[in-house]
Amino acid sequence: MKRKDDITGVILSAGLGSRIKPLSFDTPKPLLPVCNKPIMQYQIEAMKSIGIKDFIIVVGYLKEKIIDYFGNGSSLGVNIRYIEQEKALGIAHAVGQLESHINGPFILFLGDIFTLHKDLNELIETFRRRNSSMVLVVKRENNPEFIKRNFAIQMDRSGAVKRVIEKPRYTFNDLKGCGIYLFDLPIFDAIRRTPRTALRDEYEITNSIQILIEDGYKVHVADVVEWDMNVTVPEDLLECNLRLLEKMPDGHVIGENVHLPKGTKIINSVIGNNVKVMSPIQISDSVILSNVSIDTDKDIKRSLISTRSVIDWRENAAS
């Protein structure tokens, strides 16, 4: 029986993040902040909270930024190693890079997905109790469009997964895959037999999972996600911050070395480090990223502001 300290934590963080530009010009998506903490740090802390100490981060685009930020993991009380995915050829390809570095089960997070979840111990307990080769984290999703953006899961009568479909055109239940997995070593055999797809010209992990199922391996699900967001465009990052703020007792988060003139009102918003606000204005339902100077006498509402851009949710919604 595998102990928790035999399970490795893995985070994929090699992607370019082309649709979230200009935020990704200087920052890889997994380092983008939610309430002033990188998305990836929440993932590391979540796995640490269930006893995982050893981590591998798969890096690529702007890898130096990630390595400089987390280092060897000692500041978070964990051990981190890095491997590089030199070509962005899909999730299955990225996971395949791990084969020579892992000799047991591992929990995989996609580094650009922010989740609010229940007890992740259920993921490990399902893996052990049901003698699984793989457990997929799922969410009950009422909006079929969100399932179509991720992957669908079809179950058999025993409660095992019999089919997974990447970005389905049609849905058949309310189960949505959430980008968190517990794999055992047979996944590497399946990846070696995974074809490159016509849909995205990549090696899809859902195809690897289906190969395992057809080989007779048991795949199960763990419903442990309350809310999740695949951070794809800047508005998604604003939505993640506003969602987490709902759990904050103060209703706002203000970073270090922030200048706010007397009379400034911060309502349900996040202010990053080294932010300067020149005039006493009201900032509501917004995110001001680090190192931004705000020189306006107009109130700011439902916006995400970086050193490179201003994303106004209301304008985008109207268009």
Which pLDDT score, from 0 to 100, does residue 4 have?
Answer: 53
Q: Taking a C-beta distance cutoff of 8 angstroms, is the pair 205, 219 a contact?
A: no
Report how far apart the first and last C-alpha atoms of the chain are (Å, whole number). 55
Per-residue pLDDT of the chain (319 residues; tens, 9 = 90+): 445 558 999 999 877 777 788 887 888 999 999 999 999 999 999 999 999 999 999 998 889 999 999 999 999 999 999 999 877 778 899 999 899 999 999 999 999 999 998 889 999 999 999 988 999 999 888 888 888 887 888 889 888 899 998 888 888 888 888 889 999 999 999 999 988 775 666 788 989 999 999 999 999 999 999 999 989 889 999 999 999 999 988 889 999 999 999 999 999 999 999 999 999 999 999 999 999 999 999 999 999 999 887 776 544 433 3
Which pLDDT score, from 0 to 100, does residue 250 have?
Answer: 85
Angle, helix 63-70 to helix 39-48, in steps of 10 degrees:
50
Cα separation, 141 vs 164, whole angstroms? 16
Which pLDDT score, from 0 to 100, does residue 34 have?
Answer: 97
- Residue 129 in tokens: 């109790």
| In the chain, alpha helices (H) | 39-48, 63-70, 91-96, 121-129, 144-148, 186-192, 205-214, 234-245, 313-318
Which pLDDT score, from 0 to 100, does residue 1 have?
Answer: 40
Q: Taking a C-beta distance cutoff of 8 angstroms, is the pair 309, 238 a contact?
A: no
DSSP letter for 129, please: H
Order of strands, sheet of 300-301, starting from the edge strand that comes earlier in the sequence: 265-267, 282-284, 300-301
pTM for the complete prediction?
Answer: 0.92
Radius of gyration of the chain (CA): 20
Q: Taking a C-beta distance cutoff of 8 angstroms, is the pair 243, 35 a contact?
A: no
Which pLDDT score, from 0 to 100, does residue 317 have?
Answer: 39
| β pairing state of 300-301 and 282-284 | parallel
